[in-house]
Chains A and B, each alone.
Chain A
């Protein structure tokens, strides 16, 4: 039998919670699920398989995946250094990790565009090397890597902190080199956390808008992200088309997250 809590207020708290959740989240999301079908099944399919839409979805998901994979080693490096080493400036580094969380997306977008534009602090040297970042798909990926980095660091950090030195000591006693111990003991322990960090970074990046549209250049078929197409459809009062694209994005990203979830479970059981 479920233990009855002696505390008051469950009814009130649940009432407030469901009301808040229902009005703000569930009813509006129901509109997203229901409204595309005004076009009919064939209409929805046609609307999400237009070449321009396919290109935009490909860019949004491809750049998000690429950015999350870039965040993986960078995030691991930063988390490792912040947890394991003591050096001047460590606290500042730790605080700087959350900058992409805290900085409003439009501000990040403007700042990255200024930095990576052909005459920017980073864009100019890169242009000299023949790499154009701003107003290309590469620029989209850079912005997405920026917004995603803290997710990887913050997922790995607590696991690394809880990972005591015993296993590494055992590896050293058994004659493993430092690299072998890292590769065979530390990395497998961090695996699940790394995957969930990458998954979170990816999920955030797929739908990202503000930090991307300034640096993307927004050329159809080339550097136009899917959320921007939703905005374009709304501006033409194509509500059902916008909803169809929104629903497609949501379902696709849930499918990706499901795959990440499976990977994480397998890593945890040591299958992979």
Chain B
């Protein structure tokens, strides 16, 4: 017999089908479309557009940018989480709000702020230019904008977990005479490793896929300041659709791997 807190079987079926339908049409179909468009003419054109020198340069730049941006946010995020989760200090709430701030800023504005500081008419732009340092329309600008948009990922995955864990284990280690670094490495790190890895994965996925912020500071020089998402845009605007969707497919693959790894980590942690 049906319990009074359950819906009628027919209603359950209708709701399940509706939810799956929405997910298929609205969430999954776009992903399928990327690969369908890429492989429209088979493997050949896909392989050719992925081995194009400009595409390879874009892949290299994307990897380089992520390799700088992710560690910076890893160190900053762990430091912030350590301070916020394990200590009480004045300004803690403000600090927590400020760390989340980049998530409520438009990607375009995230790029814009660096142009305002480092651009040709920026606060520091002319001074840096006299010294031959170019930030905007060059690698440093792309890296800075990427760090900005991926700023909160590591901190926000760690803070709730580390707050739940409290500080008793670390205090025990301190009582037993462990130094700060030994305590962190032997006690804290094993406790947070899965969450840390998951935060790094999300941070990395966003770093490699960021479009708006990077587009504002990049200058779109082919083979030089084009990351993969920017390369996709250029190809698309040049009506090279198969090539555009091939590179987009590579990025979509990265997203799928990230989602899969995140699901595995959630079960591990």
Contact = CB atoms under 8 A, between A and B. Distances in A.
Contacts of A17: 76, 79-80, 83, 95, 99
A121 B75 contact: no
Q: Which of B28, B113, B119, B174 has the most CB of A within 10 A?
A: B113
A106 B23 contact: no
A111 B34 contact: yes
Interface string A38-73: 000000000000000000000000000000000000
Contacts of A246: 106, 108-109, 112-113
B199 interface: no
A232 B256 CA distance: 33
A77 B121 contact: no
Given A115-B33, A214-B236, A237-B120, A207 B112 contact: no
A255 interface: no
A180 to B, nearest CB: 12
Interface string B239-257: 0000011001001101110
Question: What secondary structure prevails in chain B residues at the interface with A?
Answer: helix
Q: Which of B27, B30, B180 has the most CB of A within 10 A?
A: B30
Interface residues of A, number: 88
B164 to A, nearest CB: 14
A195 interface: no
B212 A210 contact: yes
A37 interface: no
A114 interface: yes
A141 interface: no
A28 B108 contact: no
A207 B83 contact: no
B263 interface: yes
B72 to A, nearest CB: 7
B121 A237 contact: yes
Interface in A1-51: 2-3, 5-10, 12-14, 16-18, 20-21, 24-29, 31-32, 35
Interface string B8-30: 10001001101110110111111
Given A25-B101, A31-B113, A115-B33, A99 B28 contact: yes
Interface stretch (B43-51, B85-93, B126-134): B85-93
A81 interface: yes
B104 A26 contact: no
A206 B31 contact: no
A18 B90 CA distance: 13
Nearest to A74: B22
Given A13-B82, A16-B79, A81 B102 contact: no
Given A2-B88, A115-B29, A7 B79 contact: no
Contact of B216 (A74, A234, A257): A234
Contact of B236 (A27, A110, A172): A110
Contacts of B16: 81, 85, 87
A28 B116 contact: yes
Interface residues of B, number: 95
Contacts of B229: 104-107, 210
B4 interface: yes
Contact of A99 (B7, B254, B255): B255
Contact of A114 (B33, B82, B122, B254): B33
A227 B108 contact: yes
Nearest to A21: B98
Given A17-B76, A77-B18, A237-B120, A24 B147 contact: yes
A96 B23 contact: yes
Contact of B109 (A12, A78, A228, A250): A250
B40 to A, nearest CB: 10
A201 interface: no
A12 B25 CA distance: 50
Contact of B23 (A3, A27, A78, A173): A78
Contacts of B108: 207, 209, 227-228, 230-231, 246
Interface of B: 4-8, 12, 15-16, 18-20, 22-23, 25-31, 33-34, 37, 72, 75-76, 79-80, 82-83, 86-89, 95, 98-99, 101-102, 104-109, 112-117, 119-123, 144, 147-148, 151, 167, 170-171, 174-175, 179-180, 183-184, 205, 208-212, 215-216, 229-230, 232-233, 236, 244-245, 248, 251-252, 254-256, 258-260, 262-263
21 contacts: A2-B88, A5-B88, A7-B86, A8-B174, A13-B80, A13-B82, A16-B80, A29-B113, A32-B112, A78-B23, A103-B30, A104-B229, A106-B229, A106-B233, A108-B30, A110-B248, A115-B30, A121-B29, A203-B104, A227-B106, A237-B120
